[in-house]
Amino acid sequence: MADIIIIGAGTAGLTAALYARRAGMDVVVFESDSYGGQIINTPQIENYPGIKNVSGFEFATGLYEQATALGARVQFDKVVSIEGSFDEGFTVKGEYGASETGKCIIIASGARNRHMGIAGEEKLEGRGISYCATCDGSFFKGKTTAVVGGGNTALEDAVYLSDLCEKVYIIHRRDEYRGDPAQVEILRSRDNIEELLSYVVKDLKGDEKLQGLVLESRKDGSLKEISVDGVFVAIGQIPSSELFRGIVDMDGSGYIASGEDCHTNVKGIFAAGDIRTKKVRQLTTAASDGAVAALAACDLIRSLKSGQ
């Protein structure tokens, strides 16, 4: 039996793995996709303490290599079931047959991109609609693109695309951005970015390939059409927590409720990173949660071993 099973190899999960391994625990990490989580798509990280500038890919790869070099085992399989309890052990099974039993579970499954929910969005994904500027931006070199959203991701994506594209629109539903003022300043220093504030995307133009967007003003309801070759949707995330519904307590938005020590209402199950109910979701807080959850799980396992 493993000591700790971690679900998700993003920043929180891999930090938990490295702390738990350093504490001498047997650790297995389940990951349904590639390692790294959301940060792997970030072009530049400039707010991680002690690192002036690093790409998301470099950061995630360094963390993955650090955790695996310390002996964390990784199962690249999507978790489909969790059974058991702290007293008898938890069994975690994957879609492709991986099966592990452990004393504690740390859920670090993060969040995924929110879609606009507009007719044709699914069909045009990969045909002009993308949710990752760093992954797909280079397909739009010299072209016209739009970014939808007003948070840090949208602001950073627009700046990133402005280096590649001839013109970039940023479309945000309010007059004020949610993202950091420093990032807004960078955005406004770019001549080829046009801000379309208080607009929402109403319709998508193009059958086989995206050709344009119909926007609706939130001020007077008027419609406006723009021609674009691509649109990058950056309107936030939704928690990847469906599997855990009915197992642990969640808030109304599907984030997992936990205490300061990341312990959920179920003994032996912890939550770390973006999946947790909390106010600040940053790389630093994901790493912090990973450490806190791992050390709390280690304490619980030691208390079991010492019979307390």
Please check whether residue 236 is in contact with residue 135, taking contact to mean a CB–CB distance below 8 angstroms. no
Q: Should residue 282 be labelled a site residue for ligand NAP when binding is judged by CB under 6 A? A: yes
* In the complex, minimum distance from the CB of residue 181 to ligand NAP, in angstroms, rounded to a whole number: 12
Handedness of CA 270, 273, 275, 276 (dihedral sign): positive
150 part of the interface to ligand NAP, by CB under 6 A:
yes
In whole angstroms, give the CA distance from residue 110 to residue 239: 6
Cα angle: 265, vertex 266, 268; to 5 degrees: 125
Give the angle 178-179-184 at the CA atoms, nearest 5°.
Answer: 115
* List 3, 77, 136, 229, catalytic entry: 136
Is residue 187 part of the contact set for ligand NAP (CB under 6 A)?
Answer: no
Nearer Cβ to ligand NAP (80/182): 182
Residue 136 among the catalytic residues: yes
With CB under 6 A as the contact rule, the residue among 71, 84, 120, 236 that binds ligand NAP is 236
Residue 173 binds ligand NAP (CB under 6 A): yes
Distance from C-alpha of 266 to C-alpha of 247, rounded to nearest angstrom: 8
135 is known as an active-site residue: yes
The dihedral built from the CA positions of residue 159, 170, 175 and 236, taken in this order, carries a sign that is negative
Report yes or no: 220 and 214 within 8 Å, Cβ to Cβ. Answer: no
Please tell me whether residue 219 binds ligand NAP under the rule CB under 6 A: no
Segment near ligand NAP (CB under 6 A); pick from 50-58, 84-92, 186-194, 230-238: 230-238
Please tell me whether residue 137 binds ligand NAP under the rule CB under 6 A.
Answer: no
Q: In whole angstroms, what separates CA 229 from the centre of its chain?
A: 26
Q: Which is nearer to ligand NAP, 206 or 273 (CB)?
A: 273
Q: Is 180 a catalytic residue?
A: no
* Residue of 63, 86, 83, 59 whose CA lies nearest to 74: 63
Q: Does 174 bind ligand NAP (CB under 6 A)?
A: yes
Can residue 285 be called a binding residue for ligand NAP (CB under 6 A)? no
Dihedral pair phi/psi, residue 151, rounded to 5° = -90, -175
Closer of 78 and 218 to ligand NAP (Cβ) = 218
Binding to ligand NAP by CB under 6 A, coded x per residue (else -) over 97-136, reads -----------------x-x--------------------
- What separation, in Å, do the N-terminal and C-terminal C-alpha atoms of the chain show? 20
Strand pairing of 212-217 and 199-205? antiparallel
Residue positions annotated with a catalytic role: 132, 135-136
> Which residues contact ligand NAP by CB under 6 A?
42, 45, 47, 114, 116, 149-154, 156, 173-174, 178, 200, 234-237, 281-282
